[in-house]
């Protein structure tokens, strides 16, 4: 189906983790005839979060989407958010720069995520994915952060290493940077 004949929405749900969340929400979307273009799900502590980009043939509206999703979300005790995407927002953003993976390991402390991401933002380095978790033991927690970023023209992985070098000493963390080489199928 031609892309211009579709309308797109960002749908997100958050709530206490339990079996059946994905099935309940996607079942409602299926009954409406929606297609899931992109999705991401994660369990953080005891909370489950899911965000999806869904499409449907025009004419279609947000009220109908909310009406179908609301009972499923209420039954699962989920907070629901739906946002209509403009034409510019619904198009996949294919970043042309090199993809780089950044890993950060160190003692758990406030400010790690902020300081690393602020340094990247200043250089217009776009974050495509970011995950954090606590590892180690209760007495010796280790903070782990993994980022997948797109480097703009003129910035290399060596530049990122130099950009974050000061944070290694300031935060007393280990920071690794490597280019992710695309695999041809």
Q: How far apart are CA 153 and CA 32, in angstroms?
A: 42
- Same fold? 3-90, 99-179: yes
At residue 185, does pLDDT exceed 70? no
CATH (one of 3.40.50.1980, 3.40.630.30, 3.30.70.260, 3.90.1150.10) for 3-90: 3.30.70.260
Give DSSP secondary structure letters for 6-37.
EEEEEEEEEEE--TTHHHHHHHHHHHHT-EEE
pLDDT band at 137 (very low <50, low <70, confident <90, very high): confident
pLDDT band at 94 (very low <50, low <70, confident <90, very high): low
Q: How far apart are CA 79 and CA 14, in angstroms?
A: 5
Where are the domains positioned within the chain?
3-90, 99-179
Any idea which architecture 99-179 has in CATH? 2-Layer Sandwich (3.30)
Q: How far apart are CA 109 and CA 20, in angstroms?
A: 34
Q: How far is CA 15 from the centre of its chain?
A: 17
pLDDT one-digit tens code per residue, 5-49: 889 999 999 999 999 999 999 999 999 999 998 899 999 889 999
Q: How far apart are CA 144 and CA 134, in angstroms?
A: 6
Which two structure tokens, joined as six digits, stand for 131? 């995950």
Query: What is the pLDDT of the chain when averaged over all its residues?
Result: 89
């Amino acid at each position: 189906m031609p892309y211009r004949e579709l309308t797109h929405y960002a749908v997100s749900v958050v709530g206490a983790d339990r079996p059946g969340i994905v099935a309940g929400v996607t079942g409602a979307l299926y009954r409406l005839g929606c297609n899931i273009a992109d999705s991401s799900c994660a369990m953080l502590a005891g909370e489950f979060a899911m965000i999806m980009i869904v499409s449907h043939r025009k004419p279609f509206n947000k009220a109908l989407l909310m009406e179908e999703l609301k009972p499923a979300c209420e039954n699962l005790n989920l907070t629901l958010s739906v946002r209509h995407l403009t034409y510019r927002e619904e198009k996949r953003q294919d970043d042309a720069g090199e993809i780089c993976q950044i890993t950060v390991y160190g003692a758990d402390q406030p400010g790690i995520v902020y300081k690393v991401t602020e340094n990247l933002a200043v250089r217009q380095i776009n974050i495509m994915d970011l995950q954090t978790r606590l590892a180690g033991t209760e007495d010796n927690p280790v903070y782990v952060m993994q980022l997948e970023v797109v480097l703009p023209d003129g910035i290399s992985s060596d530049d990122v290493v130099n950009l974050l070098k000061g944070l290694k000493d300031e935060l007393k963390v280990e920071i690794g940077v490597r280019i992710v080489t695309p695999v041809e199928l």
